[in-house]
Amino acid sequence: MNNLFILFLVFLKIGAVMFGGHYAMIPILRHEVIARYGWISEGEFLDLWAISESTPGPTALNAATYVGYKVQGFWGAVVATLGVVLAPFLVMLVIAMGVRKYYDHLLVKSVLYGLRGAIIALVASALLSIATGAYKGLNIPQAGITSAIAVVAFLLVFFFKQNPVVVLGLSAIAGLGVGLFGLWG
């Protein structure tokens, strides 16, 4: 099968299951691009996620564009991006056209409550897979520094309600500082 068509189908599927936002799609994206097709490595995935979170635009869109470009160049980026956007667009169109009028109906609310449980599981799974991958290849001091940055970033965002973009920038600066002291190896 044509690689462009496969790219489109993979990202169409990823886009179709993004009900919980971009964190919920992490396990699916990871499975497809690393385990199933081997388009990128675990390390590239973590870097991709960091870059996608740090650049403007939806994370899923950034990830699709990057992977598509890596696999099939310019047209791969276009096809993967269209794939990841098409399903959510169509779902939102259907919701805007009709489902919203039934939002307070018991059946609709029941489905949405059920989806919430799955979204919590997907986000938790994404957290565990990213955390596990982030420590691969690190020695104990490096893992400690990474953990310290993660804890401080979490505290800043969750408890002190700091802007996540600012926290990403501060984390990058902290990583650069650690690197300048030669602690990353």
Tens digit of pLDDT for each residue in 127-180? 888 888 888 888 998 999 999 999 999 999 999 999 998 999 999 999 999 999
Task: Kindly report, residue by residue over 86-122, the tens digit of the pLDDT.
Answer: 988 888 888 777 777 888 889 888 988 898 898 888 8
For the stretch 32-71, pLDDT in tens is: 999 999 999 988 998 888 888 778 878 888 999 999 999 9
Q: Give residue 144's identity as a one-letter amino acid code.
A: G
Three-state secondary structure string covering 19-82: CCCCCCCHHHHHHHHHHHCCCCCHHHHHHHHHHHHHCCCCHHHHHHHHHHHHHHHHHHHHHHHH
| Residue ranges covered by each domain of the chain | 3-133, 137-185
Q: With beta carbons less than 8 A apart as the criterion, state whether 83 and 10 touch.
A: yes
pLDDT at 1 > cutoff 70: no
